[in-house]
Amino acid sequence: MPKEEIANLALRRSLFFPSAGIYAGSPSGFFDFGPDGETIRRKIINLWRKQLVEKESMFEIFGSQILPEPVFRASGHIQNFNDPIVQCSKCNSLHRADKLIEVHSKGIVPESLSTTELDKLIKKHSVKCPKCGGSNFATVKKFNMMIKVDIGATGDSSCYLRPETCQSIFLDFSRLYKTMRHQLPIGIAQAGKSFRNEISPRNSLIREREIGQMEVEVFFNPDKIDEIPNFAEVENYNLNLMLLGKKTKPISCKDAVKKKLVSGKLVAYYLARNQQLYESFGIPVSKMRFRELDKDEKAFYARETWDFEIETDLGWIELVACNYRTDYDLKGHQKESKQKLAVKEDGKEFIPHVFELSAGIDRSFYVTLDLVFRKEKRGSEERIYLKLPAKIAPYDVGVYPLVKKDGLSEIAKKIFVNLLDEEFDALYDEKGSIGKRYSRADEVGVFGGITVDYQTKDDDTVTYRYRDSMKQVRVKIPELPSFLRKIRKEFTDKP
Ligand SMILES: [Zn+2]
């Protein structure tokens, strides 16, 4: 769906909106999530937790957002986490040099280009300032994207807001390895916020300064990268792989390993689990791909990187960076902290290698909205609804009395409370006409609706209205929980 449609819906229903919006000049790239938006966002995280963290027996942690400077010396962020910026000589506005060149050259500019190479490209493509149209720029400079914070009254302890959630996982690995009595491979996960001082935040939730991330780091013995007990479960599952310079093609996990397109079974296995997770968001596989990154495009710590991307109205959007980080992180922290982070297994001492799935929460939320947004003409009326799968719909069911009087509210409230007690996410709404209440619920993707009317008083039945087809059926009140479970399952099996 066009981004204007999504922006309109997001603002009209307060799904998400710019932070500190009542103050003019608040910096961009920060967002608040309203009630229904936050519920969908939370359900996306919960689905990730269920499918990836719990089913794969990983450990989930919740780390601090502020970490001391040595962490980022060890991780390489102080030296390497830079964006190239360039200033317009006429209006003094600052821009990301690589992105600016991309707009003019209509090609991808690798992140690893030197500042001199970028200077040359700016001249070559006669880049113009997007703000004033000027064509004179100062030389490109490297700008570190971490946000510094000073801790303590004298500010003598230099810290940073973490630029990625995974650093806490690396810092905690050794402790968890010892205390949780586990053998490699071990998956450690975290959902939380990270922070990047983006020069030009844009495209709504796609390029933020405060980023929601859900990350999984799998620690393993590199000699055993092909020893994955559950590999048989995915071996015939097709990954949509876009190899360097090639078109996207479905390739089974087994073949990807056999043809050495990935470093080993462990990598193919987690790529499959990732693709399956996004299938459960209601996204068709035909809109997904794993794009292999060239060495110029990869992050400084990665040996192998697949960007998991989804096709939207904004083009292909990267949702998950799948990185083989080797022993880069633990080695760096061992050196800087002088603590031993190696493990001893099978009589051999080594530093574990890491494969990561680093997903953007808010991006996943945005892309899901883009793909489930529906606009239909019904006669003269226009209808908008979100075709969200039950698992991430903000509510399983809305409960509505047809009118407030004649005891209908009381019956409806009782049904509402019973459904909450039965572990359904239910919503109660008695304000406005029933048609208005249906369309309010449809717009945020509430999965279905129950209406209590005069017939309810005679025969103990209610109307259940399907969100997508608007079909209505009568259901007996005592049978509501089993009925709701059944249709939820039907949708999950066949969206
Ligand atoms: Zn300018």
Residue 212 in any domain: the answer is yes
Taking 80 as the threshold, does the pLDDT of residue 167 lie above it? yes
CATH assignment at residue 124: 3.30.40.230
Stretch 385-406: mean pLDDT? 95
| 29 Cα–ligand 1 center, Å | 21
Taking 90 as the threshold, does the pLDDT of residue 446 lie above it? yes
One domain, residues 441 and 345: no
| 22 Cα–ligand 1 center, Å | 28
One domain, residues 106 and 238: no
| 189 Cα–ligand 1 center, Å | 43
| 207 Cα–ligand 1 center, Å | 22
One domain, residues 261 and 158: yes
Residue 29 in any domain: the answer is yes
| 87 Cα–ligand 1 center, Å | 8
Residue 390 in any domain: the answer is no
One domain, residues 211 and 221: yes
Question: How far is residue 230's CA from residue 460's CA, in Å, rounded to a whole number?
Answer: 49
Taking 80 as the threshold, does the pLDDT of residue 27 lie above it? yes
Residue 376 in any domain: the answer is no
Residue 384 in any domain: the answer is no
| 92 Cα–ligand 1 center, Å | 6
Q: What is the pLDDT of residues 447-476, one digit of tens each?
A: 999 999 999 999 999 999 999 999 999 999
| 204 Cα–ligand 1 center, Å | 23
Task: Please identify every residue whose CB atom is under 5 Å from ligand 1, which is an ion.
Answer: 88, 90-91, 93, 129, 131-132, 134
| 46 Cα–ligand 1 center, Å | 44
Arithmetic mean of pLDDT over the chain: 93
| 27 Cα–ligand 1 center, Å | 19
One domain, residues 34 and 169: yes
Taking 80 as the threshold, does the pLDDT of residue 300 lie above it? no
Taking 90 as the threshold, does the pLDDT of residue 108 lie above it? no
Predicted pLDDT of residue 495: 47
The tally of domains found in the chain comes to 3
One domain, residues 405 and 467: yes
One domain, residues 59 and 108: no
Predicted pLDDT of residue 8: 93
Residue where one domain finishes, among candidates 104, 122, 144: 144
Taking 60 as the threshold, does the pLDDT of residue 257 lie above it? yes
One domain, residues 29 and 152: yes
Taking 60 as the threshold, does the pLDDT of residue 494 lie above it? no
One domain, residues 267 and 159: yes
Taking 90 as the threshold, does the pLDDT of residue 44 lie above it? yes
Residue where one domain finishes, among candidates 124, 144, 164: 144
Q: At what angle do helices 35-48 and 361-372 cross, to 10 degrees?
A: 110
One domain, residues 53 and 106: no
Which one-letter amino acid corresponds to residue 489? K
Residue 378 in any domain: the answer is no
350 with 341: CB under 8 angstroms? no
| 85 Cα–ligand 1 center, Å | 13
Residue 382 in any domain: the answer is no
Between 1 and 422, the higher pLDDT residue? 422
| 358 Cα–ligand 1 center, Å | 35
| 88 Cα–ligand 1 center, Å | 5
| 147 Cα–ligand 1 center, Å | 26
160 with 72: CB under 8 angstroms? yes
CATH assignment at residue 222: 3.30.930.10
| 118 Cα–ligand 1 center, Å | 18
| 143 Cα–ligand 1 center, Å | 19
One domain, residues 263 and 118: no
| 125 Cα–ligand 1 center, Å | 16
| 102 Cα–ligand 1 center, Å | 17
Predicted pLDDT of residue 493: 56
| 378 Cα–ligand 1 center, Å | 48
Q: What is the pLDDT of residues 362-381, one digit of tens each?
A: 999 999 999 999 999 888 88
| 94 Cα–ligand 1 center, Å | 8
Taking 90 as the threshold, does the pLDDT of residue 230 lie above it? yes
CATH assignment at residue 424: 3.40.50.800
One domain, residues 296 and 424: no
Stretch 176-205: mean pLDDT? 90
Residue where one domain finishes, among candidates 122, 144, 166: 144
| 196 Cα–ligand 1 center, Å | 24
pLDDT band at 288 (very low <50, low <70, confident <90, very high): very high
| 129 Cα–ligand 1 center, Å | 5
Flag whether the pTM goes above 0.85. yes
In terms of residue numbers, what domain contains 112? 82-144
Taking 50 as the threshold, does the pLDDT of residue 140 lie above it? yes
Residue 386 in any domain: the answer is no
| 157 Cα–ligand 1 center, Å | 38
Taking 70 as the threshold, does the pLDDT of residue 333 lie above it? yes
| 132 Cα–ligand 1 center, Å | 4
